[in-house]
Amino acid sequence: MKIKNVLISQPQPDNEKSPYSELAKQFNLNLTFRKLIKIESVDNKEFRKLRINILDYSAIILTSRHAVDHFFSLCEELRVAIPETMKYFCMSEAIALYLQKYVQYRKRKIFFGRSKFPELLELIKKQKGEKFIFPCAENHTSDIPELLKANKIEHMVAPIYKTVPDTINDLDIDSFHMIVFFSPFGIESMKENFPDYKQGDTIFAAFGAATVSAIEKEGGVVQVKAPTPEAPSMTMALELFLKARK
């Protein structure tokens, strides 16, 4: 089967010179970008039931822009004023800089890692006596809380948003020769929107072990996997796969 129509389950890149654009030109692909999931806030009434007092904590762990947006939105709804003494521990510099949307960057104690939590954890471990709050998705993985617990870091997990399937049943899903997944939640969205869908000859590509596992759990076959030592990005994995088919 010739691969022509490809569904990329991410938003359309802003940059026309993105790796996906180059990939499309190189292999004459028709790329459709469409998120399969959406992010919703946890209702503040539901959050209140958790009996979490944000001001009981002196430091915040932020692992995504979603976490930043939903945390400050929740604080506004709850009329919680975050003190200048609050410390922020961000997964990456990009997330730390994104904080400028809500706080005066130079007046805050902001720390950041290099996109991997174990690196950020080393900074967290140096903060003796701090109490950490971890704003996260309602259906988050347990990796980070387990690492915090293992290192005896006093913390509270605060689910403030959730990942849910988006409505995508307007897509002609059977027209795609390849579908690229980036999250286990994308698999849930496919099931909800297309309950009778069968993979057949369609090529599945998956980013991350959890995404691969979710596909295989549903009886699917993943032909393209990333990251790998040879292909740390999805575009590199797709390029290698498509070259091998020539």
Q: 5-36+170-245 domain in CATH 2.102.10.10?
A: no
Residue 6 scores a pLDDT above 90: yes
Residue 106 scores a pLDDT above 80: no
Q: 97 falls in which pLDDT band (50, 70, 90)?
A: very high
What number is the average pLDDT over the span 82-107? Answer: 90
What number is the average pLDDT over the span 78-98? Answer: 93
Q: How far apart are CA 22 and CA 53, in angstroms?
A: 49
Confidence (pLDDT) at 47 = 92
Percent of the chain with pLDDT over 70: 99
Confidence (pLDDT) at 107 = 67
Question: How many alpha carbons lie under 13 Å from residue 92 in its C-beta half-sphere?
Answer: 9
Examine domains 5-36+170-245 and 40-163 and report if their fold is the same. yes
Partner residues linked to 41 by β-bridges: 161
Domain boundaries, the chain: 5-36+170-245, 40-163
Residue 93 scores a pLDDT above 70: yes
Mean pLDDT of the chain: 92
Q: How far apart are CA 124 and CA 193, in angstroms?
A: 41
CA distances from 192 to 78, 149, 202, 204 (A): 33, 35, 19, 18
What number is the average pLDDT over the span 228-246? Answer: 93
Beta carbons within 10 angstroms of residue 209's beta carbon: 11
Whether the Cβ atoms of residue 194 and residue 169 lie closer than 8 Å to each other:
yes
Residue 1 scores a pLDDT above 80: no
Query: What residues contact residue 78 under an 8 Å CB cut-off, 6+ apart?
Result: 44, 47, 48, 54
Confidence (pLDDT) at 85 = 92
- In tens, the pLDDT along 8-22 reads 999 988 877 889 999
Question: CA torsion sign, 122 to 50 to 186 to 90?
Answer: negative
pTM: 0.74
Tokens of 133: 């709050």
User: Which fold would CATH assign to domain 40-163?
Assistant: Rossmann fold (3.40.50)
- In tens, the pLDDT along 134-159 reads 999 887 767 899 999 999 999 999 99
Whether the Cβ atoms of residue 225 and residue 205 lie closer than 8 Å to each other:
yes
DSSP 166-177: ---TTS-GGG-S
State how beta strands 30-33 and 37-41 pair: unpaired
